Every structure is written in C-alpha cells, then in structure tokens.
Structure 1
Amino acid sequence: MNRYAALLRGIMPSNPNMRNEKLREVFDGLGFDKVATLLSSGNVVFHCRDAGEAELEDRIQEALNRELGIPGGTILRSYEDLRALIDRDPFAGLKHERGSYLTVTFFKDQSPEVAPPDSVDELTRVIGYDDQARAFLTVIDNSTPRTTDFMAWLDRTYGKDITTRTWLTVQRIVKKLDT
C-alpha cells in the first residue's frame, strides 16, 4: 500500500465546497484508504494501491473539479519523498517561529526552468532547490508588518503548478502518514 499527501492549491476553508469533510468525501469516493485531512489548507493524506503519481494527480483533480468545482492545483508527494526531505534536514540550524517562517514550495513537474535567486526581496532568503523533493526552500522574515513579494513572484515566474507549505506543515503531514 502506497502512502501519499495531496497538496491542494487555492483551498479557502470559508468556501463550503472546500471544507475538510468535503475533501475527504471526494478522496473516499475515489476508493482511497485511511483518508485524513490536516489543517484547513488543502492537505489530504491517504493510502492507495496505485503507484503512478501523475495519473493519481489527474484523477484527483478531475474528481475535485467535477464534484466540488475546485478548478486546479493538485500536487502529490509520496510518504517516502517527504520523509527523505525531512531526513535531509534542509533547514539545519534554522527554526520556524513567529518571526521567521521556513517554507517549502513544491513543483508539480521536475526542475523549474528559472533558477531561484538568492533573494526575491529583503524579507525572503532562498535556501535552495531540492531536486529530489522538487521544491524551493525559503526563509521568510515575518517579524515586520510588511509583506513579502515572494508568493506573487513565484506565481509570475513559475505559474500555477506550485504550492507552498510551511516546514511545520510538511512535518505534520509526514507524522500523519506515519500512523
């Protein structure tokens, strides 16, 4: 049995069709086992016998669009891939805390065509790109009321086939998949 995390883009818990119970219903309806949601930001973990990530992403996205009107943005990662990312400890020595957010931006496809800069603005430090996880690793300075331009830059530069999670969320997803 394979374990996966579906990282959904653009989930707004205030939309009744995007609430966790609705998301779980769609995944249950697809025949997946041990379906669970984490937080209210579009993180769904599940077990299934299928092993093709691209096919699973398409199947899930079609069902979310058909049943709930959610237009797009399903990115899958296997438990093994996420566990390996955590084990590599890409944020060694850094802490996710109130003034400093550690973030992981997952790409649907392999490597982005544009390499990440060292920084997009003074509030964002790019740690690097992790090929195995297909993800940018960044530290966001959250100690000021100013907002970073990083998310807008990501969308402008790479399009919509990406989604960002905090490092704490990635760790929680892996812990949920451990059970």
Structure 2
Amino acid sequence: MTGYAALLRGIMPSNKNMANDKLRGVFESLGFTKVGSVLASGNIVFDAAETDVPALEERIQGALREQLGIGGGTIIRSHAELRALLDRDPFGGRKHERGSYLIATFCKHAASAELPAQDDPLTEVIGYDADARAFLAVIDNSVPGKTPDFMVWLEKAYGKDITTRTWLTVQRIVKKMEG
C-alpha cells in the first residue's frame, strides 16, 4: 500500500457537500484505507494499492463529481514525494508568519522551471521543485489592503490544474500521513 494525499481544488467548507465527512466517504467508497482529512480545505490522506497516479486522480475526481457534484480538480502526491519536499527545506528554515507567508503551488503536470516574468513586489518566488512539481513562494501579506497576485498569475501562466497550500498545511498533511 502507498500513502497518498489528495489536494482538492475548489473546496469550500461552508458547502455541506464539501464537508470533510462527505469527502472521506467518497474515498472510502472507492475502497481506499486509512482515509483521513487535514483541515477543512480539501486535503484527504489515504492508502491505496494502485500506483498509477493519473488514473487515481481521474477516478477520484469522477467519484467526487458523481457523488457530491464537486467539479474542481484533484492533484495527488505520495507520502514519499511530500516528505522529500519537506526534507529539502526549500525555504531555508524561514518561518511561516505575517510578512513571510510560505506557500507551495502544486501542478498536476510537470511545469517549466523557467517562470514567466512577474513583477508583484509582494511575492518572492523561491523556485520550482521539479520532484514535487510545485512552485514555492514567500508572500508578504503585511501590507494592509494589498493582496499579492501570485496565485492569479500562476493560474494564467499554467491553467487550472494547480492548487496552492500553505507550507504549514503541507507539514500538517505529512504529519497526518505519518501518524
């Protein structure tokens, strides 16, 4: 069995069909084991014998659409991929706090490590981790009334097959997988 995390796009906890118990129910109905949720924002951990990740993503997304009417997107990473990302410490020990909000944007498919130009002064792009297929950035959210455009910029550049998590959430997902 392999441990996976499904990073679901477009989950709104206020929508009763997107509640953690319903999301876990979909994964359990597909025969996955050790199903758990992390926070209320579409992070489901599970074990599966299957190793074809694109097929898993498609199967899960189909079940979410059919059973709950959720049409967002599903991006899967294995425990090994996420653990290795954390172990690489791409943020160099920086802390997730006001003024340095650490984020990882996961891409369904590999992306070019060469980032298109972006000039958002509130965003420091750390880079692209090819092994995790994730863009890493530090967002300065300490300026009142200013919202960084990094995620909008990434979606324009790479489409909707991406989803963003804070570094703290990635750490919580791995902790849940190892618990």
Q: How far is 1:111 from its partner?
A: 2.1
2:40 paired with 1:45: no
1:86-134 per-position Cα deviation (integer Å, ceiling 9, x unaligned): 111101131101232100000000124x722575401001000000000
* Shift >2 Å, 4+ stretches: 117-120
**Structure 2: how far apart are the matches of 1:139 and 1:119?**
14
Task: Name 1:116's counterpart in structure 2.
Answer: 115
Alignment partners' CA distance in 1, 2:114 and 2:157: 10
Q: Which stretch shows the higher mean deviation, 151-160 or 33-42?
A: 151-160
Q: CA deviation at 1:138?
A: 0.2
Q: For 2:107, give the aligned amino acid.
A: F
Aligned pairs for 1:10-49 (under 5 A) are 10-49=10-49
Residues 79 and 174 in structure 1, CA contact (< 8 A), matched pair in contact too: yes
Q: Aligned partners of 1:140, 1:120: CA distance in 2, in Å?
A: 13
Map 1:1-179 onto structure 2 (within 5 A).
Answer: 1-112=1-112, 115-117=114-116, 119-145=118-144, 146-179=146-179
Whether the 8 Å CA contact 2:11–2:72 is kept in 1: the answer is no
Structure 2: distance between partners of 1:73 and 1:120: 28
C-alpha distance in 2 between matches for 1:111 and 1:117: 11
CA contact (8 A) 1:27 1:60 kept: yes
Structure 1 counterpart SS, 2:94: coil
The DSSP-based 3-state class of the residue aligned with 2:109 is: coil
For 1:118 and 1:167, the matched residues in 2 are separated by 23
TM-score normalised by the chain length of structure 2: 0.96
Cα distance in 1 between the residues matched to 2:82 and 2:69: 28
The runs of 5 or more residues in structure 2 that have no matched partner are none
Q: Using the aligned pairs only, state the percent identity.
A: 64
Name the SS of the counterpart of 2:45 in structure 1.
strand
Secondary structure of the structure 2 residue equivalent to 1:34? strand
Number of aligned residue pairs: 178
CA root-mean-square deviation:
1.3
Counterpart residue identity of residue 110, structure 2: Q
Matches of 1:81 and 1:141 in 2, distance apart? 27
